[in-house]
Every structure is written in structure tokens, then in C-alpha cells.
Amino acid sequence: ATVGENMLRGDRGVRVEASVSNGGFFSRSMKMAKSELPLLLLSFVLLAMSSASRLLLPHYQGNIIDKVIPDPDTGAYDKAGFLHFIKIYVWIMVAQGAISTIYSAIFTLVSRRLKFVLRNKLLEKILVQDVAYFDGTESGRLISRLTNDLNLMMAPIQSSLSSLLSNILILIGGLIMCFWKSYRLSMLAFVTVGPISYLWEQYAQWSKGLAREMMSHWAEGNSIASQALIHVRTVKAFGCEHQVLHNYSQTNKEALNCGIKDAWGNGLTSALTGYLDLGSGILILYYGGILVYNGELTVGELVTFQLFWNMMNNAYQNLQGLITSFTRSAAGAEKVFSLWDSDPDIDPQKGRDIVRENVQGGLQLENVSFHYQMRPDNKVLSNFSLSIPAGKTVALVGRSGGGKSTIINLLLRFYDPKGGKITLDGQDYETLKVQQLRRLFGVVTQETELFALSVEENIAYGLDKDEYTHEDVVEAAKKAYAHEFISEMKDGYKTRIGERGNRLSGGQRQRLAIARVFLRRPKIILLDEATSALDEHSQEAVHKALSNLIAESQATVVLVAHRLSTVVNADAICVVDQGSVLEQGNHDELVAKGGIYASMVAKQVKKKSDLLEQE
Ligand code: ADP
């Protein structure tokens, strides 16, 4: 298997994402919003002011009505008082409008900034995961974390955090005002509140479950789509677009079914609570009317009470809806936080800095044992030891499946050994900063992964703009025998390569990978030679490019080789099988020894093909 394949290997079982401690949702969100707290605080104050001013309105409405009702004895009405209250009413309204504009703008601003931070942080969190994590998690699901789950989590915060808070304030204020105006009416109206809240509570729970289910269907759909798009040529070659579409629409349909259920549930709950609400309205009018008739309440006071009650009731219902959407968002947050909480085993922050200039490039595997997390019973390496001296070229040969690519994976510290250790210039890998370690390497795998960027950007991938010039890129390409075909392209080095480099042949892609290594001037070069059938011409070009690379660089080279011609000049050749070194020495020594390597060579010479193989 190639390193590239191993990296791409899909979902082969369960990956343990750390489970989230439930309930910490709000406290964790608050922690994340720490930098925004001053602005949030300001908007809370404005929000409180705006809610308070809204609470004053019904009171003045009642006053206005009482002023227009003529005095039963004199028949006169208080025109000055009437105008006075109208004036106050207008001022409050204007102030309230202005304040609420400001705070809602602040809330939107804050939530957008939070989302920006979260998106960045989340991709960082994904990228920091071990390669083993990606062995077990499909990329589509991870894209879902960045899109669907994050959106679901942020949706209510963006649109309704402010309304949540203002509704809470209005609810409390309205309640106080209602009791202040008439405690008897308040008590009566309250009869209906219990059933309403029970209904909403039930709905919220149910809806949260549905949201979770819907998310998982969406993630599945994303995964199907992204797999199909990554491998679109295979999909087309097999003519199975309809199957992809069918599977995709199946998952979407299941998500839709959840959505439909939720819509019905929401409708029904709203209808029932609506009726209960109307009931309370009638009760208030009926009993309030009697109170007015008996002279215990003025008409203005009844109107005020009614307005307060409606206001409070509205706030209460809004809150129920908001709480539902917040609970749903908790379903998205659970996923986001679970990713947040899963820390990689290989901590990128840990370890000493590497001083590049001092690196010699000697590598050593000491009694290394290893198996992949997905297949613990398949012991790939056991007590494997190998010394790769600085500046030398070591070739690994042997049967496919013997563990050669795994050694390359371990040298790149994609995985840590389960036993034994790997050292660079005598220093244990685990004591070094992993990213700096990896930056010492230049890698050419069988599957060259190219990005949807220009040829030049692909060659310079991973380097900062100030680390190379266009001339450097051209020089690297020339050494890699890639300059010619690049120059023939429409826009030369500026030509954009399609995603996965589809517009290039296998040999051309590989030469680009070799150019990358030339440009990077790595301390250590890892080569996984392609066995795939390249045509004669490009085989020769790739071969010349590789020989150039090995000959010219001072680097340590580890080479997984399949061809005799590549191996002959290596300083040491290791025959690897079933996770251990069977033979070691240079070409002449091993041929003289007459062992496995010698028989591989003999067989190859007989076949006259250039491929080293052993049954
Ligand atoms: P080689 O490069 O010599 O062909 P590999 O190192 O690719 O051999 O494979 C060694 C063994 O490890 C094989 O049995 C292979 O199936 C297994 N293997 C390789 N990569 C993975 C992986 N990502 N997850 C599980 N098993 C793997």
C-alpha cells in the first residue's frame, strides 16, 4: 500500500470521539465568547433599558385611555393630561427603537465574530488530529462539523440570543406589572400557563432528538457526496451516478422525514397553546369586566392589565420557541464540542524545537512494534530495528504488504510505535516538535496528491512566499524533468491543475512531486517508488529525475524500491517481510550472499523486466 492510500483509507470502524459532558453548553459558549464580553455587557445594559422602556408603554396606554373617558359627574375630560401622556408615550417609543437598533447590531456583530473564530479553530482542531483519526473518520463527516453542525449551533445565537434575553426581562417585568395592576386577575389567568409550558417542554425534548437524527443523516449525505466527488472519475467509469444519487437522496429523504415530523409537532403544539392562550384572554375579559362594573378597576387599568398580560404571554411563548431552538442548537454543539474535546495523541505543541542547521539526518528504528488502530490483530512490525545513517541511501525491498509503507508512515510520525522507539540523530521522536520534524522531510509517494492550485503553487506547496522565487521553482522543475511539459501547458507555471491533478499523467504528477522535493531541499527524502504501469518514456523520465535527486542532494534517503536499477546504487538494501528485516547489505554483498535478494535479482534478470519482486 502507498502512503497516499493509507492516508486516504476510509472509515473502517468506529473512531472514538470524546463524549461531551452535557449541559456545559452555555458555560463553554461563554468561555469562548470571553474576548467579546465587554461588548456583550454593553449590549446587555442597552437591552435591559430597552425592555424596561417597553414595559412602561402599557402603563401609559392605560393612562391615556383613562384620560379620554369623560368624568361621569362633570362630563369633562382632561385634555392636558391626555396630551401629556401621549407625549411621554412617543418619547419612550422613539428611545426604545433607537436603543434596540444599537444592541441588536452589536449582537449580530459579536455572533459573526464568534463564528469566524469558531470556524478557524475548528479546522485547526481537525487538522491537528492524528493520521489515525482520519483512518477512521470520513472527510464528509468532518466537513459537516464545519458547516451544518456549526451553523446549527450558531443559528439561534446569531438571531435570537438578544431576543432570548429581552424576552426574559419582559416576562419578569410583565409578571410584576400584572400582579401590581390586579393580583386577582393575574392568579386567574395563570391557570392556563401550566399546561402550555408542559406542552412546550415535551415538544422541545422531542425536537432535540429529531434534530440530532437529522444532523446525522445530513452528515451521511455529505460523506456520500464528497466521496463521489473525490472519486468522480471512478463513479463515471462505473456508470453508477444513479446509485450515488439514490443513496444521497435516501439520506436526504430520511433527514426530510425528520424535518416533516418536527414541522407537524411544532404546528400542533402551537395550535394547542394558541387555544389555551385564547382561553386565558376570555377569562381576563370576563372577570376583568365584572371588576370594572363593580368599580374595583378602571377601564384604563383593565386595558393596561390586558396589554401587560399579552406582552408577558408573548414573551413566554417566544421563550418557549427560543428554548426549543437553543436545545436544537445544543445538538449541533454536542458534535462540535466533541470534536473540540478530542485531542490528538501526538501533541503538536509538545517537544523541543529542532534547529534545522544542526540536523544530520541519521534515523534509527529500535525494536519498533506497530499495528494500526483499526486492525489491532494485524501486527505489522514486531521488534523491528533498522539504522539509516545520515546522508546515506537505504532501500527497502520485499513483498507487498510486508510493512514498507508503514515504515515510511512511522518515519513521518504519522503514527507512534506501540513499542520501541524511533530516533533522529539519536533523539527520540517523541521529544521533538512533530511539525518541525515533518518539515525536515521531502516525500514522493506513489500517489502524488496535487491541489487545485497553479503548477507553481503546487511545486512550492508548504513553503512561504518569501522562501522561494519563480526561478527556484523553474530550476527545481528542470532537475525533475518537469520543465518541458510545464512549458508546453497553456499558461506554463501559472496553469491551474484540476482537483487531484486530473489533467496530468501519472508520470507528470510524479515529476511534479519530485520537483517539490528539489525545491524544499529537505534533510531527509522518503521515496515510495511507483510500481504502476507508467509508459516507457515517462518511466525513464521519472527514473532520471529520482536518480538526479538522490545523487544531488546531501540528504538521507529512504527508498521503497521495486526496480533493480533504483536499488543497485543504494548504500544499503533491506529486505523487509512480515515486519522484520530478513537481509541487509549493499547490492554486491547481498548478491554474493546468495539469499533472498540474490534470488529476487536472478528472477528479475530472467524476466528481463525491471521489476524486483519475490513471491
Ligand atoms: P507494503 O508497503 O510493504 O506493501 P504496508 O506497510 O502498506 O506494506 O502494509 C503492511 C500491513 O499493514 C498490511 O497488512 C496492510 O494491510 C496493513 N495496513 C497498511 N495501512 C493500514 C491502515 N491505514 N490501517 C490498517 N491496516 C493497514
ipTM here = 0.97
Element (H, E) at 323: helix 299-341
pLDDT bucket at 500, cuts 50 / 70 / 90 = low
- Residues 519-535, mean pLDDT to the nearest whole number: 79
Is the CB of residue 9 below 6 angstroms from any atom belonging to ligand 1?
A: yes
Residues 6+ apart with CB under 8 A from 30: none
From 6, 8, 527, 531, give the residue whose CB has the most ligand 1 atoms within 8 Å, as the site to mutate. 6
pLDDT digits (tens, 9 = 90+) for 75-115: 777 888 889 999 999 999 999 999 988 888 888 888 888 88
pLDDT of residue 440 exceeding 80? yes
Work out the widest C-alpha separation in the chain, in whole angstroms: 130
Which residues, listed in sequence order, are joined to residue 384 by a DSSP beta bridge?
A: 368
Is the CB of residue 378 below 6 angstroms from any atom belonging to ligand 1?
A: yes
- Residues 243-248, mean pLDDT to the nearest whole number: 92
CA-nearest residue, atom 27 of ligand 1: 372
From 131, 135, 404, 405, give the residue whose CB has the most ligand 1 atoms within 8 Å, as the site to mutate. 405
The pLDDT of residue 133 is: 84
CA-nearest residue, atom 25 of ligand 1: 372
DSSP-derived secondary structure for 14-49: ---PPPPPTTTHHHHHHHHGGGGHHHHHHHHHHHHH
- Residues 301-322, mean pLDDT to the nearest whole number: 85
Instruction: Please give the residue that has the higher pLDDT: either 3 or 58.
Output: 58
Determine the distance separating the centroid of ligand 1 and the alpha carbon of 378, expressed in angstroms. 9
- Residues 313-336, mean pLDDT to the nearest whole number: 80
Range with the lowest mean pLDDT among 107-111, 423-427, 457-461? 107-111
Q: Kindly report the CA angle at 331 between 328 and 335, in degrees rounded to 5?
A: 155
Is the CB of residue 370 below 6 angstroms from any atom belonging to ligand 1?
A: no
Is the CB of residue 410 below 6 angstroms from any atom belonging to ligand 1?
A: no
- Residues 517-542, mean pLDDT to the nearest whole number: 78
* Nearest C-alpha neighbor of 311 from the set 197, 193, 175: 175
The pLDDT of residue 532 is: 56
CA-nearest residue, atom 20 of ligand 1: 6
pLDDT bucket at 22, cuts 50 / 70 / 90 = very low
The pLDDT of residue 55 is: 87
Determine the distance separating the centroid of ligand 1 and the alpha carbon of 2, expressed in angstroms. 8
pLDDT of residue 5 exceeding 60? no
Is the CB of residue 400 below 6 angstroms from any atom belonging to ligand 1?
A: yes
The pLDDT of residue 511 is: 87
Which cell numbers hold the place of 408? 515510511
The pLDDT of residue 152 is: 80
Is the CB of residue 406 below 6 angstroms from any atom belonging to ligand 1?
A: yes
Which residues, listed in sequence order, are joined to residue 573 by a DSSP beta bridge?
A: 395, 585
pLDDT bucket at 364, cuts 50 / 70 / 90 = very high
Residues 6+ apart with CB under 8 A from 99: 46, 49, 50, 53
Residue 606 burial (C-beta neighbours within 10 Å; 0-12, 13-18, 19+): exposed
Residue 51 burial (C-beta neighbours within 10 Å; 0-12, 13-18, 19+): buried
Which cell numbers hold the place of 46? 442597552
Which cell numbers hold the place of 299? 377601564
pLDDT digits (tens, 9 = 90+) for 140-184: 788 888 888 888 887 776 667 778 888 898 889 988 988 888 888
Kindly give the number of the ligand 1 atom that is closest to the alpha carbon of 398: 3
The pLDDT of residue 20 is: 41
Q: How many CA atoms, within 13 angstroms, populate the side-chain half-sphere of residue 305?
A: 28
Is the CB of residue 501 below 6 angstroms from any atom belonging to ligand 1?
A: no
Kindly give the number of the ligand 1 atom that is closest to the alpha carbon of 396: 3
CA distance 430 to 454: 36
Residues 6+ apart with CB under 8 A from 68: 77, 82
The pLDDT of residue 257 is: 93
Is the CB of residue 380 below 6 angstroms from any atom belonging to ligand 1?
A: yes
Instruction: Please give the residue that has the higher pLDDT: either 274 or 613.
Output: 274
Determine the distance separating the centroid of ligand 1 and the alpha carbon of 463, expressed in angstroms. 30
Q: Kindly report the CA angle at 145 between 143 and 149, in degrees rounded to 5?
A: 125
Determine the distance separating the centroid of ligand 1 and the alpha carbon of 346, expressed in angstroms. 20
Which cell numbers hold the place of 330? 445544543
The pLDDT of residue 8 is: 32
pLDDT bucket at 509, cuts 50 / 70 / 90 = confident
| Relative orientation angle of helices 183-190 and 299-341, to the nearest 10 degrees | 50
Determine the distance separating the centroid of ligand 1 and the alpha carbon of 367, expressed in angstroms. 19
- 299-323: burial string, b at 16+ Cβ within 10 Å, e else: ebbbbbbbbbbbbbbebbbbbbbbb
Kindly report the average pLDDT of the chain as a whole number.
Answer: 83
CA distance 402 to 382: 12
The pLDDT of residue 499 is: 58
Please measure the distance between the N-terminal and C-terminal CA atoms of the chain and give it in whole angstroms.
16
Range with the lowest mean pLDDT among 26-40, 82-96, 117-131, 294-308? 26-40
The pLDDT of residue 612 is: 66
Report the share of the chain in percent with pLDDT over 70: 92
CA distance 56 to 498: 63
Determine the distance separating the centroid of ligand 1 and the alpha carbon of 418, expressed in angstroms. 15
pLDDT of residue 21 exceeding 70? no
CA-nearest residue, atom 13 of ligand 1: 401
The pLDDT of residue 73 is: 78
pLDDT of residue 538 exceeding 80? no
pTM: 0.71
- Residues 440-449, mean pLDDT to the nearest whole number: 85
Q: Residue 575 in contact with residue 582, Cβ under 8 Å?
A: yes
Range with the lowest mean pLDDT among 144-158, 259-273, 556-570? 144-158
Is the CB of residue 373 below 6 angstroms from any atom belonging to ligand 1?
A: no
Q: Residue 545 in contact with residue 448, Cβ under 8 Å?
A: no
Which cell numbers hold the place of 223? 460523506
Determine the distance separating the centroid of ligand 1 and the alpha carbon of 5, expressed in angstroms. 10
Kindly give the number of the ligand 1 atom that is closest to the alpha carbon of 560: 2
CA distance 482 to 69: 94
Determine the distance separating the centroid of ligand 1 and the alpha carbon of 404, expressed in angstroms. 8
